Amino acid sequence: MWILPAYLAALLAAIGVPDQQPGVNVFVVWGLVVVVMWKAAGRSIGLVDRLFIVASLIPVSLVAVLSAEWVVAMELAAGLGVAAVGVSRSGTWTEITTASTQIVRGLRRGLLVPLKPVTASFPHVSERIKTSLRGIVLTGALVALFGGLLLSADRAFATLAEDWLVLDFRLDLIAARVVMGVVTLAGAGSLALLAPSFREDPPATLAAPNEEPHRGLLQPREWKMALIVLNVIFGLFVAVQLTVLFGGHSHVLTTAGLTYAEYAREGFFQLLAVAVLTLGLIAWVANSCRSDADRRWAKVLLGILCLLTLVIIASAFKRMNLYEDAFGATRLRLTVDLAIRALAAMFCLVLLAVVRWNGRWLPRGAIAICLVAVVGFGLSNPDARIAETNVGRFEETGEIDLSYLRTLSTDALPALLELPELERHCAVGPILARVDEEPAPWAFNLSSESARDVLEDDPPPPCSPSVWP
């Protein structure tokens, strides 16, 4: 039964997450949510679906290792998305999109379903008593929520309540704990209800190959003409890009009249837009093919288009690397770098699907690629990479952006400690100042724990005005 682990997850979330840094606490709660999905799905999902559910633990486990909030949010989103695909047995783009939206839309039902056993377990009790029990539960939740808000709004009222109730815990966190518990219970229930055994409506499916063409699909002459012209344009662009990719710094300066950094920045996002739009075009053409002759034409033209697009993506990747070399790494630049790599891997999958002319596996393959990309991104420790590249750039050029490095998380400390003394104090001081003194044991985080060791062994002095005004 999935109800019990759902309640346990909500209880642990209410106790261990508010006012604590994300760490082992979040991983344990998510582990219980995984149990909820596993139990709720039962035999309605297959082995691959269960592997997706279990794989969601991998990105969430990094929450106990890294402290960069933007990376933690990315890993949590990846875990949630992969789990939703697994528990809902989603295999098409439509089903994946529907499952993603149903997580939010199903929160209300996800909360109500676990509450039913509170009264349903007493079959011989009258309906009036059952209603009273539900009213007590609702009243208790509302009192805790609004009482907690009032306690946190006025210190005098909170002190009076603490003296009267003689409680040895922070009353100002009651509202936060109630909200966290309710949201966790609703979220776990919503994920459980994605399972096919609970699904009210059958999932949407792709049109069968022998169906009549739908309105909006292209005729063979239309897409053949468009793809041939588009391949020619892409080919000309790629010919120019190859000279840039292999021509180097001097070619850019003499040909474009720009600095290397300016050339790298110019047109980068346009190239990404071209790649993304090409994915949509490939799907449109593939759905428009109704005969074997059409499919043979499409294999050739779409295959060429995919290969040319991969070169365009490589050009965008090269531009971003040039820009990082000129100005250093930032969180935005590393995120874009991740998107480029994932997009390139996606086009490799699309090319394989075009060659085999079988794309049933493509949606799940894309989800798997995204999972691997996000987990690999987290394991690379982005904030540490940013610090390392900027420290290396400082050693080469003597230029450093301390105002940006001071905003990084404790993940960046090992690299920042390699800076000269004056710059190190200015970069490390604000980061260590944001570290909690001693979190609860269940909120253990490896990065923050290492930062506390640094703070105890070698606390940094104030930043020198000569380095940071």
* Residues 411, 152: Cα–Cα separation, whole Å: 32
Provide the percentage of residues in the chain whose pLDDT is more than 70: 74
3-state secondary structure of 460: coil
DSSP state of 207: P
- What does the block give as tokens for 209? 């190959």
- Is the model more confident about 190 or about 258? 190
Task: Pick the range with the lowest mean pLDDT from 21-30, 258-267, 293-302.
Answer: 258-267
pLDDT computed for residue 207 by the predictor: 38
- Domain spans in the chain, listed from the N-terminal domain onward: 3-198, 242-347, 383-457
Q: Where does residue 90 rank: exposed (0-12), middle (13-18), buried (19+ CB within 10 A)?
A: buried
**C-alpha distances in angstroms, 122 versus 116, 137, 358?**
11, 15, 53
pLDDT computed for residue 380 by the predictor: 92
pLDDT digit string, tens, across residues 156-178:
666 666 555 544 456 567 778 88
Task: Quote the mean pLDDT of the chain.
Answer: 77
pLDDT grade for 358, boundaries at 50, 70 and 90 = confident
pLDDT computed for residue 43 by the predictor: 81
Provide the percentage of residues in the chain whose pLDDT is more than 90: 13
Contact 334, 383 (CB under 8 A): no
Q: What is the mean pLDDT of residues 273-291?
A: 78
* Residues 297, 289: Cα–Cα separation, whole Å: 9
Q: What is the mean pLDDT of residues 54-71?
A: 92
Q: What is the mean pLDDT of residues 127-145?
A: 62
* Residues 329, 254: Cα–Cα separation, whole Å: 27
Contact 338, 377 (CB under 8 A): yes
- Is the model more confident about 330 or about 270? 330
pLDDT computed for residue 97 by the predictor: 82
pLDDT computed for residue 168 by the predictor: 47
- Is the model more confident about 433 or about 138? 433
pLDDT computed for residue 357 by the predictor: 83
pLDDT grade for 454, boundaries at 50, 70 and 90 = confident
Q: Is the pLDDT of residue 209 over 50?
A: no
To the nearest 10°, the Cα dihedral for 447, 450, 456, 460? -70
pLDDT grade for 146, boundaries at 50, 70 and 90 = low
| Buried-exposed string 332-345: b where 16+ CB fall within 10 A, e elsewhere | ebbebbbbbbbbbb
Q: Is the pLDDT of residue 294 over 90?
A: no
**Beta-strand (E) ranges in 156-227?**
none
Question: Which DSSP string do the residues of 341-386 spell out, in sequence order?
Answer: HHHHHHHHHHHHHHHHT--TTHHHHHHHHHHHHHHHHHHT-HHHHH
**Maximum alpha-carbon separation in the chain:** 88
* Residues 99, 195: Cα–Cα separation, whole Å: 10
| Buried-exposed string 65-82: b where 16+ CB fall within 10 A, e elsewhere | bbbbeebbebbbebbbbb
- Is the model more confident about 220 or about 26? 26
Predicted TM-score of the model (pTM): 0.75
pLDDT digit string, tens, across residues 361-408:
888 888 899 999 999 999 999 999 999 988 888 888 888 888 888 889
pLDDT grade for 213, boundaries at 50, 70 and 90 = very low
3-state secondary structure of 214: coil
Q: Is the pLDDT of residue 464 over 50?
A: yes
- Is the model more confident about 432 or about 462? 432
Of the candidates 26, 68, 22, which has an alpha carbon nearest to the alpha carbon of residue 445? 22
pLDDT digit string, tens, across residues 98-108:
888 888 887 88
Q: What is the mean pLDDT of residues 200-212?
A: 41
pLDDT grade for 140, boundaries at 50, 70 and 90 = low
pLDDT computed for residue 163 by the predictor: 59
Task: Pick the range with the lowest mean pLDDT from 164-178, 185-199, 328-342, 415-429.
Answer: 164-178
Of the candidates 39, 52, 56, 42, which has an alpha carbon nearest to the alpha carbon of residue 2? 39
Q: Which long-range contacts (CB under 8 A, 24 or more apart) does 46-50 make?
A: 46/89, 48/86, 48/364, 49/86, 49/87, 49/89, 50/86
**C-alpha distances in angstroms, 6 versus 39, 227, 258?**
10, 52, 59
Side-chain half-sphere CA neighbours of 25 within 13 A: 23
pLDDT computed for residue 54 by the predictor: 94
Residue 256 neighbours by CB under 8 Å, 6+ apart: 263
* Residues 318, 310: Cα–Cα separation, whole Å: 12
pLDDT computed for residue 211 by the predictor: 41
* Residues 331, 336: Cα–Cα separation, whole Å: 9
